[in-house]
Structures are given as C-alpha cells and as structure tokens.
Amino acid sequence: MPLNTQYDVLVLGLGGMGSAALYHLARRGLRVCGIEQHGEAHALGSSHGEVRVIRKGYYEHPDYVPLLHRAYELWDEVNATASDPVFKRCGMLVSAPPDSETITGLRDCFEQHGLAHERLTPTEAMRRYPQFRLPESDAVYYEPDAGYLFVERCVKAHLALARQHGAESRMNEKVLGWSSDEHGVTVRTASGALHAAKLVITMGPWVRELLASFGVAVDVLRKVQFWYEAPDSDGYRDPAFPIYFVEKDYGFFYGFPAIGDCGLKIAEHSGGTAVGNPDAVDRELHAVDETGILRCLAETFPALKPIRKRHSICMYTKTADSHFILDTHPEHANVAIGAGFSGHGFKFASVIGEILADLAQHGATQHPIGFLRMDRLRAAGKV
Ligand SMILES: Cc1cc2nc3c(=O)[nH]c(=O)nc-3n(C[C@H](O)[C@H](O)[C@H](O)COP(=O)(O)OP(=O)(O)OC[C@H]3O[C@@H](n4cnc5c(N)ncnc54)[C@H](O)[C@@H]3O)c2cc1C
C-alpha cells in the first residue's frame, strides 16, 4: 500500500477506543486510516479477556449516565450487524456495606436518572441466587439492564464495520512519532510517513509519556483476570447467575456467569501493581495475585471448588481521579485524545468512538463530556 497518502483523519492505536473511533469516522464518509502496532484484538494491551461489564448504575459519577444511554444504543446497533453477538444483558448484583460510596453512589445515580433497579436484602438476593453467600450487613442492588460485552468481538466488529465504510488499517505497524502544524498532521512509522488533516490518539497504556509532556500523570497498573472451572449445572450460567460486584474490606471483586466453555471469570477491580514499560509487563502468575480472589470465591460461593483454568494479564491506565480524558490536545487543536480509561472504560467504547470522531471532525461534541476534559487534572495540581 502506498505511503505519503493524504487522509482526513488518522487513528493511532486500534484497541477498544481506536477501533470504535475508526468506525465512527468512516461511517461519516471521511477518508480514514488506523495504525496499530500489534494484531487485531490482540492480548497485549487493555482490551482482551473474553468479557467486560456494562451497566448504567454508575456510582463513580452520575454524569456518565447520559453517555451510557448512547453507548447502549450504539452497542445494540453493532449487535444487530455482528455475526456473533457482542452484547448480552443478564443483570448485575452489587453487594457492599450500606454506607460505602458504591451503595450511596448507586442510590443517588438510580434516583437521579430514573434507572431500573431493585434494592434487595442479602437474604432476598440469596433466595433468588442461592449460589451466593452475601454478608447480612451488606446492602444489595440488582440492575436488570446490566450485562456483558464480548471484548475482542467488539474490537473486531468495529474494525470490520469501519472497513465496510472504506477505512484503511495498518496492523503490526508501530507509530514512531507524529507532528502537527497548520497544514495537518504527519505520522511516522517504520514504513514511511502518513499525512492527514486530523489525528485521533487512542494509545491505551502507551499514552503515558504523551500525557506527561503536558503535565498529566497516569498510572499504568498490572491486573490479572482469572477463569475457574464452572460446575456442570446451569446454576452458574445466565439466566440463573448474574454479573456481580462485591465489596470486601480486602478489595473490590467482580465476576461473570460461565459462558460457553470459558469457565467463570472473576477479577479484582482494586489494587494492581505499577507497570514501568507496558511492553515488558510481567505476564507470569504469582501466588499473591490470587490471594484475594480465592478468599472472595470461598466467602461468596462456598459450594464452588475453585479449579483455575487460566489467567490473563491486562493493564489499567488510571488518572488521578479515575475519570477518563476526552479532549483535544492542549497545543494542537487538530489532535483528539481518548485516554486514562481507569479500568472502567470499555462499556463506553461505542460512544467514545462517536465523541472522538466529533472532536476530530468538528473540534467539539454535543455529548456532555465537560467533566472529562483534561484541564481538571492539570489545574488541580494532581501531577
Ligand atoms: C482486567 C481489566 C478488566 C476491565 N474490566 C472492565 C469492565 O468490566 N468494564 C469496562 O467498562 N471496562 C473495563 N476495563 C477497562 C477497559 O477494558 C479499558 O478502559 C479499555 O479497553 C481501554 O481501551 P484503549 O483503547 O484505551 O486501550 P487498548 O485497547 O490497549 O488500545 C490501545 C492500542 O494502541 C496501540 N498502540 C499504542 N502505542 C502504539 C504505537 N506507538 N503505534 C501503534 N499502535 C500503538 C496498542 O497496541 C493498543 O492496541 C477493564 C480493563 C482491564 C485491564
């Protein structure tokens, strides 16, 4: 394929967010090309590991909910076109201390946005889902609209849709540098230079140096995802078994029903060890990685014998306040950045693709992203 080509927009990084941005730009009829250092839906960044939670009850910040309404619509659209489903609703159980930020944040979010939910006692929840043992002192919410996204399928579906709309993609090609001036942007790879009017940067954990260059710090964290043998009975499968989030005094844990023959996935949302170089993240499993998980499994599912099937290492890119960065580059208005998704961004990928396409195309978006602008992290002196 010839280089030195003129595009409307280039997308740097085709993981969860970049694949969605490529699709949204292409479906607007723009001439776009994405550049990705690894293969399609690879397992070396932040968008792999079978499934991701999607929910609207957002204890983290109620302003995410309008974005989630649009994200759901867009995932439903992708689902309708994909050969294999990418999105499944199955309900979610949340169990945490009544005065925790999780429970008070969920209560406020459900009320403010009129979202479907049930407040249950732990006894009621355990009657409905007898596999679970929940502390009697906890408060429990059930959100029927929550579900899961097949993460690799989502990335592949966005890339396939983007190509159907004429997008080009250069896989296994690392971007070595880029520059921007009044004529547009130039992106350099080992094969040469690509030119475009605009650039979208969605580099996942590899974005840290760029953000640091204008005073925004992010932590890259090593996270382990686990899968355990599921009992033969349907009791651990949807619809008998929901997604769950349980808050313990030793960590926050979440898990999924058994899907196909993958087993039961569970992971810890809290914690994580700092990663210096994302290319050299430690992918070995250490006993300490599993300590909290095994304790949580023993307490929450006493009938389950935890036989590990596999694990997978993934990376969070965490901002100082755990909220995303969606903005244009502080010095280059023709460069849009989506970064710092802080371990909860995938469910938004569909709408973030649309927002990044808006920022690249128009320099602005109608979506309410004021709380995700970069200045909050620079101005608050959190660097
Ligand atoms: C264990 C784990 C569990 C999670 N669970 C959930 C969940 O349940 N629900 C939820 O909503 N979110 C969840 N998340 C968060 C979510 O998955 C991430 O926020 C999201 O996938 C980040 O996408 P991204 O596009 O920013 O990064 P990535 O998907 O990593 O994409 C960045 C891409 O840029 C490419 N790239 C970087 N530098 C270059 C370069 N120089 N040249 C070319 N290409 C480059 C990389 O190769 C990569 O493909 C979880 C994350 C992890 C790690």
CA 152/CA 170 separation, integer angstroms: 18
Average model confidence (pLDDT) for the chain?
Answer: 96
- Is the Cβ atom of 350 under 6 angstroms away from ligand 1? no
Distance of CA 17 from the midpoint of ligand 1 (Å): 7
Please give the share of the chain, as a percent, with pLDDT higher than 70. Answer: 98
- Give the CA distances from residue 137 to residues 97, 123, 211, 301, in Å, rounded to whole numbers and listed in that order: 7, 10, 42, 17
Same domain, yes or no: 136 and 230: yes
Mark whether 259 and 357 lie in a shared domain: no
131 and 225 housed in the same domain: yes
Distance CA 189, CA 170 (A): 10
> Do 213 and 223 reside in the same domain of the chain?
no
* Residues 319 and 198: beta-carbon distance below 8 Å: no
Q: Which residue has a Cα nearest atom 26 of ligand 1?
A: 204
Q: Does residue 258 share a domain with residue 133? A: yes
Counting atoms of ligand 1 from 1, which one is nearest the CA of 52? 8
Atom of ligand 1 nearest to the CA of 343: 15
> Is any atom of ligand 1 closer than 6 Å to the C-beta of 147?
no
204: CA distance to ligand 1 center in Å?
5
Measured distance between the N- and C-terminal CA atoms of the chain, rounded to whole angstroms = 42
Examine residue 177 and state whether it is found in any structural domain, yes or no.
Answer: yes
Instruction: Based on the fold, state whether residues 158 and 284 are members of the same structural domain.
Output: no
Pocket mutation for ligand 1, best pick of 346, 350, 356 (most atoms within 8 Å of C-beta): 346
Phi-psi region of 253 (alpha: psi -120 to 50; beta: other; left: phi over 0): beta
User: Which of 300, 318, 336 is the endpoint of a domain?
Assistant: 318
Residue 341 maps to a domain: yes
Supply the pLDDT for residue 382.
42
**Spatial separation of the C-alpha atoms in residues 43 and 58, rounded to whole Å:** 27
Regarding whether 165 and 29 lie in a shared domain, the answer is: yes
Q: Is the residue at 68 inside a domain?
A: no
Residues 189 and 334 in one domain: yes
Q: Is any ligand 1 atom within 6 A of the Cβ of residue 326?
A: no
Q: How many helices (DSSP H) and strands (DSSP E) are in the chain? A: 9, 20
Arithmetic mean of pLDDT, 261-273: 97
**CA–CA separation, 184 and 30 (whole Å):** 15
In a domain? residue 73: no
Residue 310 and residue 188 in one domain: no
Q: Please state, in angstroms and rounded to a whole number, the distance separating the CA atoms of residues 382 and 58.
A: 24
The more confident residue out of 82 and 27 is 27
pLDDT at residue 132 greater than cutoff 50: yes
* CA 326 to centroid of ligand 1, rounded, Å: 15
Looking at the CA of residue 205, tell me the nearest atom of ligand 1: 30
Claim to verify: residue 233 and residue 365 sit in the same structural domain: no
Give the tokens for residue 375: 């200045």
Q: How high is the pLDDT of residue 202? A: 98
User: Could you tell me which residue, 230 or 1, shows the higher pLDDT?
Assistant: 230
Same domain, 160 and 108: no
Residue 79 falls inside a structural domain: no
User: Which atom belonging to ligand 1 lies closest to the Cα atom of 17?
Assistant: 25
Q: Is the distance from the beta carbon of residue 132 to the nearest atom of ligand 1 less than 6 Å?
A: no
Residue 69 lies in a domain: no
> 339 pairs with which residues across the strands?
325
Is there a single domain that holds both residue 134 and residue 115?
Answer: yes
Q: Domain with 339 in it: what CATH number? A: 3.50.50.60
- Residue 55 forms part of a structural domain: no
Which CATH number belongs to the domain containing residue 109 in this structure? 3.30.9.10
Chosen domain end from 302, 318, 334: 318
Closest ligand 1 atom to 345 CA: 19
**Gap from CA of 121 to ligand 1 centroid (Å):** 36
C-alpha 21/C-alpha 41 separation (Å) is 15
Q: Select from 318, 333, 364 the last residue of a domain.
A: 318
Contact 74, 21 (CB under 8 A): no
Residue 280 covered by a domain: yes
The confidence band for 115, taking pLDDT boundaries of 50, 70 and 90, is very high
Q: Which domain holds residue 212?
A: 6-47+152-217+321-379
Residue closest by Cα to atom 51 of ligand 1: 343
What CA–CA distance (Å, rounded) separates 328 from 357?
A: 11
Number of domains forming the structure of the chain: 2
pLDDT digits (tens, 9 = 90+) for 172-205: 999 999 999 989 999 999 999 999 999 999 999 9
